[in-house]
């Protein structure tokens, strides 16, 4: 039995202790506390020694998987390496002990960081103004759509209540539009995976607030007709929203602002190397074209004539606040560090390397996995399961599915790619290597993917019951998501 098969509660032995409290700091007896501050029953904590506890947490940490543990080709998520210097800078006491209610005069360095990050993102994206308030990409989408609505309403154009979303869009796009009170109109993709401009034309009217697009789209394909789409949408009075989750391959190559977009968000945890989620703070800055600056949420940081900085707290047409204070400072600081560490020359390379890595894997693996759209991709691409020998469309000839391939990858120490998204295919496997992986890492992954394709032929049942070497094998994923039991007992 492995050590981690036991919960820390099961290691507990009456009277065993892994701590000692200094008497002079904890000298008050229970009796001194008022009854309302006392527990009714003893706290049922595990009684373990310090080594037991240290091993418990260390083992738990090793059951986890992250970019620091191994290759993480999770399509759509841009799981690039998070440089340690980002953490070092964010941990500097001068930044760490800042308080958002401090007077502007005492936080000039922090305000300058906001200002310079805005300038850097403006240069990278072609959007001159940014707000840092939104806490995630999806929150940025909502904020951006609110700006879009505000723009139309400020012109007395109240009929524009519909937003066009391609059928390949990420689920957060229609979700954000719905939360914003907009009606969603779906535009179809063509066989080649790109928005069908002929399908778009009849959808355009004076009720359209705008269109939301991801470019490259969720198949990793560049929307080559974007300039025509921008012209059509603008001609009908609508605005273009750019979902910047796929910005990585474009950095240093082309800019959404130049493609005709009016509003966009960036996911700093994707393109700009800040940590992903884990329930912690995130950042989804929203950039806008010049004519929309007036609607940006507050506070924003602006430069005074004497070169100092201040927080702008009121502006006539602003949306107001969409989160507390001016966004998650520590996350913004990590992105700022990343950009400065790379410098202009290297920022311009990251998109190209991300694109090269993805195309290399695609070409190496396409004899083994079905490639529904065989063209040059950007930073990611989608397979539709294993090469089909003519059997059922949903599986390969031996009944091996995309889920089985993904599960087997875990046995080999890889995080699985994104699976069953996008919804355009039945057996989607979406691979995004990012630019931070070496050729050796990518080659090793390709070899394992080929090996799994071989196993699908020779040992299909072994694949169907994978993973075999992880602490748990195949949980009931729906139940695990809907009824998660996160506590040992109901009451402690």
Residue 436 interacts with ligand PLP (CB under 6 A): yes or no: no
- Give the burial class of 178: count Cβ atoms within 10 A of its Cβ; 0-12 exposed, 13-18 middle, 19 or more buried: middle
Chain CA centroid to CA 234, Å: 29
Residue 74 interacts with ligand PLP (CB under 6 A): yes or no: no
Is residue 291 within 8 Å of 139, Cβ to Cβ?
A: no
Binding residues for ligand PLP restricted to 101-130, rule: CB under 6 A: none
CA distances, 390 to each of 68, 279, 420, 425 (Å): 40, 44, 21, 17
Q: State in angstroms the smallest separation of the CB of 198 from ligand PLP.
A: 24
How far apart CA 113 and CA 481 sit, in angstroms, is: 38
Q: State in angstroms the smallest separation of the CB of 354 from ligand PLP.
A: 14
* Site size with ligand PLP, rule: CB under 6 A: 13
How far apart CA 237 and CA 231 sit, in angstroms, is: 10
Binding residue for ligand PLP, selected from 76, 168, 274, 436, defined by CB under 6 A = 76
Is residue 126 within 8 Å of 257, Cβ to Cβ?
A: yes
Nearer to ligand PLP, 8 or 333 (CB): 333
Residue 267 interacts with ligand PLP (CB under 6 A): yes or no: yes
Residue 284 interacts with ligand PLP (CB under 6 A): yes or no: yes
Q: State in angstroms the smallest separation of the CB of 78 from ligand PLP.
A: 8
Nearer to ligand PLP, 368 or 381 (CB): 381
The region of 240-248, 314-322, 334-342, 385-393 touching ligand PLP under the rule CB under 6 A is 240-248
Residue 245 interacts with ligand PLP (CB under 6 A): yes or no: yes
**3-state class of 199 per DSSP?**
helix
The region of 241-249, 360-368, 406-414, 482-490 touching ligand PLP under the rule CB under 6 A is 241-249
Residue 218 interacts with ligand PLP (CB under 6 A): yes or no: yes
Binding residue for ligand PLP, selected from 125, 189, 214, 427, defined by CB under 6 A = 214
How far apart CA 241 and CA 170 sit, in angstroms, is: 13
Q: State in angstroms the smallest separation of the CB of 419 from ligand PLP.
A: 14
Going by C-beta distance under 8 Å and a sequence separation of 6 or more, which residues neighbour residue 184?
A: 162, 163, 165, 174, 177, 178
Binding residues for ligand PLP restricted to 321-380, rule: CB under 6 A: none
The closest alpha carbon to 401, from 414, 417, 424, 419, belongs to: 419
Binding residue for ligand PLP, selected from 170, 300, 334, 408, defined by CB under 6 A = 170
Residue 385 interacts with ligand PLP (CB under 6 A): yes or no: no
Nearer to ligand PLP, 8 or 195 (CB): 195
**3-state class of 409 per DSSP?**
helix
Residue 136 interacts with ligand PLP (CB under 6 A): yes or no: yes
Q: State in angstroms the smallest separation of the CB of 390 from ligand PLP.
A: 34
List alpha helices for 65-182, DSSP H.
84-90, 93-96, 108-125, 137-154, 172-179
Going by C-beta distance under 8 Å and a sequence separation of 6 or more, which residues neighbour residue 139?
A: 284, 322, 323
Residue 137 interacts with ligand PLP (CB under 6 A): yes or no: yes
User: Under the rule (CB under 6 A), what is the footprint of ligand PLP?
Assistant: 76, 136-138, 170, 172, 214, 218, 243, 245-246, 267, 284
């Amino acid at each position: 039995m492995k050590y981690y098969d036991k919960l820390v509660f099961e290691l507990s032995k009456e009277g065993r202790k892994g701590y000692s409290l200094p008497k002079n700091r904890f000298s008050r007896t229970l009796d001194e506390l008022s009854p309302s501050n006392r527990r009714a029953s003893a706290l049922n904590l595990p009684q373990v020694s310090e080594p037991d506890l240290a091993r418990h947490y260390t083992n738990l940490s090793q059951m986890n998987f992250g970019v620091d543990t191994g290759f993480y080709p999770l399509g759509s998520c841009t799981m690039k390496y998070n440089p340690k210097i980002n953490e070092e800078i964010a941990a500097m006491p001068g930044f760490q002990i800042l308080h958002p209610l401090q007077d502007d005069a005492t936080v000039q360095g922090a305000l300058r960081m906001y200002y310079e990050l805005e300038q850097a993102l403006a240069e990278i994206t072609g959007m001159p103004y940014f707000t840092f308030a939104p806490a995630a990409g999806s929150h940025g989408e909502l904020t951006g759509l609110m700006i879009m609505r505000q723009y139309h309403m400020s012109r007395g154009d109240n009929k524009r209540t519909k937003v066009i979303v391609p059928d390949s869009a990420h689920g957060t796009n229609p979700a954000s539009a719905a939360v914003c009170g907009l009606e969603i109109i779906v535009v179809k993709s063509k066989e080649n995976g790109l928005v069908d401009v002929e399908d778009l034309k009849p959808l355009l009217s004076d009720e359209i607030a705008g269109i939301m697009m991801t470019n490259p789209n969720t198949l990793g394909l560049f929307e080559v007709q974007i300039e025509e789409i921008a012209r059509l949408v603008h001609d009908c009075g609508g605005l273009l929203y750019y979902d910047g989750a796929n910005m990585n391959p474009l950095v240093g190559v082309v800019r959404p602002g130049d493609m005709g977009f009016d509003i966009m968000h960036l996911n700093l945890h994707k393109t700009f190397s800040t940590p992903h989620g884990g329930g912690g703070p995130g950042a989804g800055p929203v950039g806008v074209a010049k004519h929309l600056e007036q609607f940006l949420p507050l506070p924003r940081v602006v430069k005074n004539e004497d070169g100092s900085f201040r927080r702008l707290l009121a502006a006539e047409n602003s949306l107001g606040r969409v989160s507390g204070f001016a966004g998650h400072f520590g996350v913004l600081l990590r992105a700022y560090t990343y950009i400065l560490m790379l410098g202009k020359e290297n920022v311009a390379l990251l998109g190209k390397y991300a694109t090269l890595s993805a195309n290399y894997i695609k070409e190496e693996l396409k004899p083994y996995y079905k490639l529904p759209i065989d063209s040059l991709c950007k930073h990611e691409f989608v397979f539709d399961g294993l090469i089909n020998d003519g059997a059922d469309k949903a599986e390969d000839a031996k009944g091996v599915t995309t889920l089985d391939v993904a599960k087997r990858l875990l046995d080999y120490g890889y995080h699985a790619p994104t699976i069953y998204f996008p919804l355009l295919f039945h057996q989607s496997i979406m691979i995004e290597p990012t630019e931070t992986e070496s050729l050796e890492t990518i080659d090793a992954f390709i070899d394992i993917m080929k090996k799994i394709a071989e196993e699908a032929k020779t040992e299909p049942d072994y694949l169907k019951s994978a993973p075999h070497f992880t602490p748990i094998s195949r949980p009931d994923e729906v139940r695990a998501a809907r009824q998660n039991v996160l506590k040992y007992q109901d009451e402690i």
